[in-house]
Structure 1
Amino acid sequence: MPKFYSYQTKMREDLEARGARPVFYDEEPDKTKFLILKNLGDIFHNPKIFDGFNKKLKNKILSEMPSGGYDYLLVIRGNVLSEQTIHELKNKALKSSGKSIYYSWDSFKNLRHKGEIGRLFDWRGTFDSVDAKESELGYELLPLFYSDEFNNTSNENIEYKYDYVSVSAYFPFRYRYFKAFKEANPDKKLCLKIFLDPKVYRGKKLKDPKLVKDLDMDIISFEPFSPDQIRDMVRNSKAVLDLAHEAQQGLTMRTMETLGIKRKLVTNNIYLRDYEFYNETNDLILTDLAAKADKAEQTGDYSDFILPGSEWLDKPYLENEEVRQKYSIHSWIDKLFEV
């Protein structure tokens, strides 16, 4: 799997607590090299661009495998793995009784293999409700999870610092909407933060300088936020504003963390309605933000970006503990290894 914040560490800790001995291999050990290879592969339509990586990874796993092999092979995303690599790992690294598990926490349209490698595994799951419904390969829907840091088991009284908080990575659409929300809600306490990697900033400054001209440094941060910082910001806010890619269908990790820590959620993901924990007391779905931003920038009227005030924010959070616990990392691991 790729490193993704500290989630691979959380998964390892859960498995070790159960007595397992997991070994982690990074799908993208060199991010810069991977981006270059991906771009070259796209430009020259070279499906073998990652063959060298696959060979090196396969040999490393086989040389380090325990005597007798592994009980499980778990692949998360597997964006650059070849079918040959998967076949060889199943045949040589797994015990004869071993099981193979595939999980996609990205939508198929964003993956090189479009979800097709799932057919090579004993069990396959996805975080994307549309992919699960439309795939002919028997993908099961398994939403993402919240880790223990976001597991709110208490009902402590908090003197909230913010009405709304949002912490995320830089994308032009997200920065555009953040500026609109800031303009439309001067009466509310907002904490809207976007991490812009300095390398990305320098690249965009050369390629498309208009995108990063006159940045609002109240929103932009060149330093990443730690999981503890994000948790504390969310904990001290009445609601979380989560803006996913316009075409994203699966629920983000931030959505699940908001559920875990029992905070209200405002999101542009219309598929939230498909999930059992959705309710209008806790959740608000925004639509057509791109068109609304166009209109606001043309007219100077940002009223479409006004967020709910105390009439919604201060309404008591509607709890369902049985449902909430189903989306913890521990329940997620349970489901993965039911195969």
Structure 2
Amino acid sequence: MRKTKAIAILTTHSFGYIDFLVDKLNLNEDVDLTYINIDAIPFSYKNKGSRIANFFLKLFLFPGLKEKNRTEFIKKAFRKKPLFDQILVIRPDKLQKEALVFLKKSTVKMDCFLFDGIENFKNQKKILSYFDTIFSYDKRDVEKYNFRFLTNYIFDDEIEKNQITNTAFNISSFDSRFPFLEKLANYLSEAQISFRFIVKKNKCCNHDTIEICTKYLPINEVKEIISSSLVMIDLQKENQYGLSFRVFEALGYKKKLITNNQDITSYDFYNENNIFVITNENYQIPLDFFETDFVEIDPKIIDKYKLKNWIFEVFNIECNQIKDL
């Protein structure tokens, strides 16, 4: 017997945040979910010649062998499936046009969610016409392209109260934010404020104040570090205007937050006691920000940003059908 709603989700690894979405949908007996982690699709070059061929394909702007393999994998996985009620694609720029055309024919409704500014992945502009609804967490993109506004979500709100060993904590990828992170590290060191900064970089190297690692930390390990940290630090990328998952981690775990996202002050959960906004030029943080307790936010406000409500917004599945979060 066919379940009420057949849904497919295709996305990149996304640091494990999407796993919570998948788990919650799988808990719903009325949902038949097909999930494909694009990053986990197996691929290897057959020989040296295939590597050379791939180089020239990309040189002349043709899809590479990895992209072609990804398309074939998706076709094979979906070919025996009935027509989907809804397909959600996250990071649609990772899919070939051929794959998008195939997916469009395989569903009644095809949507995508953009949790980064569209200017950071400009190829997305070329494929927007394939989607019925485009959700975006970026207010500027919503206004410019007539997208549907939707923030990221609180994916978890249970955390152990461990002994605080780091006053401030940040984990991020190595990119244009790194020089600012170094300035923050130097500032905190001079102010004798303890911190732990972890940066994922493809090549390992030594750094005086920042831990460099070559692999992404599992989300449960990050949670452990958060539990022993007083304040979380969130640095937005260039052309990033929406709120990152780091903000919603802080909300869910009731941790104070330091961020350079200026727009955060416009949200209903903003409280100057809990959130301190910095800039690249002005990043001095008053000591009393670290000394005062987190102020509880109205539960009705927090509830709006929980995963169960995100699921309702995207998939029109009633909140009471999904367990909390």
TM-score, with structure 2 as normaliser: 0.78
- Contact residue 250 and residue 256 of structure 2 kept, 8 A: yes
Shift of residue 64, structure 1, vs aligned partner: 3.0
Distance in 2 separating the partners of 1:59 and 1:221: 33
Residue 148 of structure 2 corresponds to 140
Post-superposition shift, 1:268?
A: 1.0
Of 222, 233, 255, the match for 2:247: 255
Please give the alpha-carbon distance, in whole angstroms, between the structure 1 residues aligned to 2:102 and 2:144: 29
Tell whether the 8 Å contact from 1:163 to 1:313 is kept in structure 2 after alignment: no
Post-superposition offset of 1:257: 0.8
- Once residues 152 and 14 of structure 1 are traced to their aligned partners in structure 2, the CA distance between those partners, rounded to angstroms, is 16
CA RMSD of aligned residues (A): 3.2
Residue 127 of structure 1 corresponds to 137
Could you tell me how far apart the structure 2 residues matched to 1:31 and 1:190 are? 43
Deviations 1:270-290 (CA, angstroms, capped at 9, x unpaired): 222232222322211112x1x
Q: Conserved in 1, the CA contact under 8 Å of 2:176 and 2:237? A: no
Cα offset, 1:332, TM superposition? 1.6
* 1:191 and 2:187 aligned: no
For 2:224 and 2:269, the matched residues in 1 are separated by: 23
TM-score normalised to structure 1 length: 0.75
Partner of residue 76, structure 1: 90
Q: Give 1:32-71 correspondences, 5 Å limit.
A: 44=59, 46=61, 48-50=62-64, 55-65=68-78, 66-71=80-85
1:5 shift after superposition:
1.9
Work out whether residues 71 and 96 of structure 2, in 8 Å CA contact, stay in contact via their aligned partners in 1. no
1:276 aligns with 2:281: no
Q: 1:308 to 1:41 in 2, by over 3 A?
A: farther
Which residue of 2 is the match for residue 330 of structure 1?
308
Instruction: Give the CA deviation at 1:38.
Output: 11
Map Cα deviations across residues 166-198 of structure 1 (whole Å, 9 max, x no partner): 122223642x3333333323444422222333x
Deviation at 1:103, TM superposition (A): 1.0
Are the aligned partners of 1:126 and 1:132 in contact in 2 as well (CA < 8 Å)? yes
- Structure 1 residues 209-224: aligned runs within 5 Å: 215-216=207-208, 218-222=210-214, 224=216
Name the aligned partner's letter for residue 2 of structure 1. T
User: Deviations for 1:252-310, whole angstroms, at most 9, x for unmatched residues?
Assistant: 111111111111111111222232222322211112x1xx4xxxxxxxxxxx5432213
Amino acid at match of 1:79: D
Change (3 A) 1:122 1:222: closer
Shift of 1:60: 3.2
Whether the 8 Å contact between 1:195 and 1:220 is mirrored in structure 2 is yes
Describe how 1:162-311 pairs up with structure 2 within 5 A: 162-171=166-175, 173-174=177-178, 176-186=179-189, 187-197=191-201, 200-201=202-203, 215-216=207-208, 218-222=210-214, 224-287=216-279, 289=280, 292=281, 305-311=283-289
Query: How many residues get paired?
Result: 297
Would the alpha carbon gap of residues 308 and 236 (structure 1) be closer, same or farther in structure 2, given more than 3 Å must change? farther
Greater mean alpha carbon deviation, residues 217-226 or residues 1-10 = 217-226
Distance 1:89 1:315, change over 3 A: closer
Q: How many Å separate the matches in 2 of 1:217 and 1:32?
A: 37
Q: Distance in 2 between matches of 1:286 and 1:30?
A: 42
Question: Which residue is equivalent to 1:321?
Answer: 299
Point out where structure 1 has 5 or more consecutive residues left out of the alignment. Answer: 203-211, 293-303
Structure 2: give runs of 5+ residues left out of the alignment. 1-10, 46-51, 318-325
Question: Secondary structure, in 3 states, of the residue corresponding to 2:276?
Answer: strand
Q: Give the Cα separation in 2 of the matches to 1:39 and 1:140.
A: 38
Q: Distance in 2 between matches of 1:188 and 1:236?
A: 18
**Amino acid aligned to 1:131:** D
Q: Secondary structure at the match of 2:14?
A: coil
CA distance in 1, matches of 2:44, 2:285: 38
Distance verdict in 2 for CA 1:337–1:223, change over 3 Å: closer
Identity %: 20
Instruction: Tell me, yes or no, if the aligned pair for 2:26 and 2:33 is still in contact at 8 Å.
Output: yes
Distance 2:117 2:278 in 1: 21
